[in-house]
Structure 1
Amino acid sequence: ASALIADTKLLLAEWNLAQSVAENLNRARRENIFGKASRKRVEDILLIFRQRYFDDADVGAALVTLTQNGAPAQWIAPLLYFFSAQNDRTLRDIVIEVLYPRHLAGYTDLPVQVVVRAIRNWVAEGKTTTRWGEETITRVAQGLAATLRDFGVLQGAVNKHLTPIYLPTPSFALIALWLQQRERSGHLVLQSDDWRLFFLPVEGVERFFIEAQQEHLLTYNAAGSVVRIEFPAASLAEYTHVLLTNQRAR
């Protein structure tokens, strides 16, 4: 699936948190908010949107709250990318296992054959649900490259180049809370492979935590392998209000 950034932002702007997910999706169909898109295209968009952002209702509520309360666009973009990668294992693994090591090795280009080779190896190792043929592997590789270009991780229409996506501190902090809810360990949050989606080594993650603490977005304490991270909110949706209030006060 492509990035669908414009369609996603439109849905988030039109979303009513007082209604259920089903009610919101039905209203989007009924009011034809995508204009001239075919019925099949609309259904594809709504399915992808729900899977990416509303399988976890707290993620969806946080994105809606940010969008409808004037959060900067540069906050939203990395969040859409991050949660899309959580929903699409192949997209996530290509960045973490192929792009990130390539970035560390000093390469800036990404020939599509590098992606094709990685997927071919995964198929051979039985990591895909079915055994993909060469045509499918090439199509998936090209689709992943196009999606990552749309999200800003790659640049170039034909020849792709690595461009680590900009991650503002508030977006980092929201992702950190999401990881904390799953890992239940400050050390595991700090060491999480998911930071590699932003080409961040552990040292870079730690710098972000220190900066987030300086901006009063969280509390971070590290002593050896003991890492304590505390947030001023229990849910992502609640935390977005903290981030927005902090932004307005600056």
Structure 2
Amino acid sequence: MTKVAINGAKGKMGLALIDSINLNKNVNFGGGFDKGDSLDMALDDFDVLIDFTRPEATLSALSSCLSSSKAMVIGTTGFSDNELETINQASNKIPIVFAPNMSIGVNLTLKILETSAKVIGPDSSIEIIESHHRFKVDSPSGTAIKMGEVVANALGRDLSKCAIYGREGIEEPRDLNTIGFSSIRGGDVVGEHTVIFFMEGERVEITHKASSRMIYANGAVRAAHWLHNKPNGLYSMQDVLDL
């Protein structure tokens, strides 16, 4: 039985994770931590830590997990390039599942996007539109960026060089090699992502809509159980789901 602890246990996502653990027969709840709590005092109480907080809190928890060789599932988004490298380096010493979205449906969508981009992407204008609740602080969402990376990689492009984040004013006609992003924030939207491939005379829209945080929680708990006793390394939800 895998003992799973939660960082950020008092937040909306943290509470959903605890509910998911209690409903999962393969795991036990190994403790919850929030601002001001000392993770180092309870490192013997869990096998895997799940973290959906903020980059600074996640990196602090990562340091504690490194010191005690504990596995970690990271669903936090908004990391800088240097912070991403810190996570990558840490995976040489502990097993980590790191994914911007733990939803099974989203990860299946990523696989569909890869196939779609290879078939129709070179001849289309590609736009990614994402919507979230008004409290989400980073944009585009980590999931939208991951979708862009999947599409760009399938087309042999570098997303950092072809991404367009919003438009304003008078521009040249759209470059087919770019990938556009639009972010919407408002209300209590859990998360909606649409990738549109615009072609001459037709378009293909691939959409994933989330109506409950439990889809992310259930995926993260599944990842935590899968990760227990895995070799050191950096894993994705594609690995967890064998996609």
TM bin (shorter chain): under 0.3
State the structure with bigger RCO (CA 8 A, min sep 6), 1 or 2: 2
- Give the TM-score, by structure 1 length: 0.25
Q: Which structure is higher in strand share?
A: 2
- Give the TM-score, by structure 2 length: 0.26
Q: Which structure is higher in helix share?
A: 1
